Amino acid sequence: MRHISVDTVIIGAGTAGMLAYKAAVENNADTIIIEQGPLGPTSINSGCVPSQLLHEMGRQYSANSTPMLTMTLYGKSPDKHLDRSDILNTVRNEKRAFLDQYIKEFYTIPEDCRIMGKAFFVDPYTVAIEGTDTTISARSFVIATGSKPYVPANLKKIGNKIITSDELFELKELPKSIAIFGTGSIGLELGEYLTRLNVKTAIFGMGEIGHLTDPKVASAALNAIRERVFIVPYGHFTTIEQNNDSVVIYYLDESEHECYLKVDCVLCATGRIPNLDGLQLETAGIQLDSMNCAYCNEKTLQTSVPHIFIAGDTTSTRNNLQKALYQGKIAGSNAATYPRITQTCDMPHQDITFTDPEITVTGLSFEEVKQRARCGHKFILGESSTANNTTSVIKGYKHGLVHVYFDRETQMLLGAEICAPYAQQMSQFIYSALFNRQTLDDLIGYNFYHPSAFEMLTEAFEDAKKSFKLFEPVI
């Protein structure tokens, strides 16, 4: 029996896990990181890296023009037509550079501080490595095992014709037609990119558009997406079945008309769930919710067992790569200094969906602002439209809205939901304003360049100011 005793154990060497390890070491904790494999975080294997590569290829290679890719495609001239296998081979080739960099970084960790294997808890202070006689005890732990795609039971029945974003980028070639289930960020982005790459694409949803909760912004986003992609956001599915080499989908559209669709395969983008299988969290005493997610204190990242922390996609909170990086640092630092908590998570939330136009939620969502109002904290909404913005009109964006939310009493900025060109840059501005706790009076003074899409922020701030004046006391 081989037993190791250290200060801190990090379980998972993805984005959050690697940052947690570095933070723990920087705080002078004797630390071991355990990775089950295969090496490589979700962001590189099937997340934002291959997705953004596909985005760039789709931008250059569209159904209405001759492909003019600037990437080097195995020695082929950029003006040569690409077949379907070239596209995914190129994505894999390009992402390999990112993966090689990650693997190189992982192996810079001293050999006695990294273990390849599957860890599981045997008690609150000890983990074992599956298939070995190794156990490791520590005074603190960070769980950063990432997430995996969620596939509903009614889609599993079509067998190998159902894929997720994990499998999409490993296909030999792009399918000729595909149905995407899910209208979150992944579904909308991949739907648009594949459409641009001449894949006949249909997106099916259950009402959600990106991460938007504001009905007016969501409606504008849906109208904008419909101009580029076939989408059924509120369809009711009657039957889905495999038929030889195809998948047949019967559904009722928004007008209750029965429709029929035949595609090569189905991509499930209905969300991701924490990858906690086999960790035996109940042995450690960690409480799970009804969705089998571990309880997490959003400020300290502690689970229900105070010396066990959790970070990244493994948490049950809304997450993305930016948040995983931040949480990894916080969890690693707090685990290293436990029982003293030295850092807390206080970053504003930010979601960006890289469609055209882009969709963003920054800070509190509309739904969260409404929940806050039910507790007595009323708010003011400011609005602007692409229809009144010179740059948006010139670029042909008929549908788009900016909604910003302010506390009615303090005029403090609370958040924003946006569907507009350059929305990701607007989101960064809103994020900075939230981080610096700016008020409407602080923001109303910004003069953005004319003409630019950013003038929509000015208009939204001015609209909010008008609403505030309605509630000013009369002297």
Please state the residue numbers annotated as binding site for NAD(+): 182-189, 271
Residue whose pair of structure tokens reads 């995407």 in the numeric block:
180
Binding annotation? 145-147, 182-189, 271, 313
Name the active-site residue from 3, 81, 236, 450: 450
- The pair of structure tokens assigned to 408 is 């009615």
- Residue 187's H or E segment, with its range, is helix 185-196
> DSSP labels for 17-44?
HHHHHHHHHHTT--EEEEE-SSSS-HHH
Cβ atoms of 403 and 218 within 8 Å: the answer is: no
> DSSP labels for 367-414?
HHHHHHHHTT--EEEEEEEGGG-HHHHHTT--S-EEEEEEETTT-BEE
258, exposed or middle or buried, with CB in 10 Å at 0-12, 13-18, 19+? exposed
Q: Residue 310 half-sphere exposure, CB side, CA atoms within 13 Å?
A: 28
Is 450 annotated as catalytic?
A: yes
> DSSP labels for 216-261?
HHHHHHHHHHHTTSEEETT-EEEEEEEETTEEEEEEE-TTS-EEEE
CB atoms within 10 A of CB 306: 14
Which residues touch 119 (CB under 8 Å, ≥6 apart)?
A: 9, 11, 34, 36, 127, 128, 129, 130, 136, 279
Coil vs helix vs strand at 205 = coil
Binding annotation for FAD? 145-147, 313
- The pair of structure tokens assigned to 375 is 């507790």
CA distances (Å), origin 29, targets 6, 32, 119, 135, 303: 8, 9, 20, 19, 20
> DSSP labels for 288-330?
B-TTSPBP--TTT-B-SSTTEEE-GGGSSS---HHHHHHHHHH
Q: State phi, psi for 36 to the nearest 5 degrees.
A: -75, -35
Cβ atoms of 421 and 397 within 8 Å: the answer is: yes
Q: Residue 391 half-sphere exposure, CB side, CA atoms within 13 Å?
A: 14
Q: What are the beta bridge partners of residue 143?
A: 11, 310
Active site residues: 450
